[in-house]
Amino acid sequence: MELSIAGKKAVVTGGGAGIGREIALKFSRAGAAIAVCDVVKEGADKVAAEIVAARGQAKGYAVDVSSFAAVEAVCGQIAADLGGIDILVNNAGITRDNLLLRMSEDDFDRVIAVNLKGAFNFTKACIRGMMKNRWGRIINISSAIGQMGNAGQANYAAAKAGMIGLTKSAAKELASRNVTVNAVAPGFIATAMTEKLDPATREAYIQGIPLKRAGMPADVANACLFLASDLASYITGQVIRIDGGMLM
- Alpha-carbon distance of 108 to 243, in angstroms, equals 25
**Number of neighbouring beta carbons within 10 Å of residue 104:** 11
Instruction: State the pLDDT at residue 12.
Output: 99
CATH code that applies to domain 9-189+217-237: 3.40.50.720
Distance CA 228, CA 90 (A): 13
pLDDT of 198 reads: 83
Mean pLDDT, to the nearest integer, of 168-187?
A: 98
Q: What is the pLDDT of residues 223-242, one digit of tens each?
A: 999 999 999 999 999 999 99
Confidence check: pLDDT of 196 > 90:
no
Query: pLDDT digit string (tens) for 69-82?
Result: 999 999 999 999 99
Q: What is the pLDDT of residue 2?
A: 64
Per the model's pLDDT, the better-predicted residue between 108 and 195 turns out to be 108
Domain ranges in the chain are: 9-189+217-237
pLDDT of residue 30: 97
- Residue 107: pLDDT above 90? yes
Residue type present at position 146: G
Q: Just list the catalytic residues.
A: 156
Looking at this protein, which amino acid is placed at residue 131? M
Interval 110-138 mean pLDDT: 98
- Distance (Å, whole) CA 14 – CA 56: 19
Kindly indicate the confidence band of residue 170, based on its pLDDT and cuts at 50, 70 and 90. very high
Measured over all CA atoms, what is the biggest interatomic distance in the chain, rounded to whole angstroms?
Answer: 52
Q: Taking residues 129-158, report their average pLDDT.
A: 97
Please, are residues 146 and 159 in contact by the beta-carbon 8 Å criterion?
yes
Convert 39-76 to b/e letters by CB count within 10 Å (16 or more is b): beeebbbbbbebbeeeebbbbbbbbebbeeebbeebbe
Report residue 195's pLDDT band, with 50, 70 and 90 as the boundaries.
Answer: confident
What is the mean pLDDT of the segment spanning 29-44?
Answer: 97
129 bridge partner residues: none
Residue 57 has pLDDT above 80, yes or no: yes
> Distance (Å, rounded) from C-alpha 129 to C-alpha 85?
7
> What is the rounded average pLDDT of the residues 16-41?
97
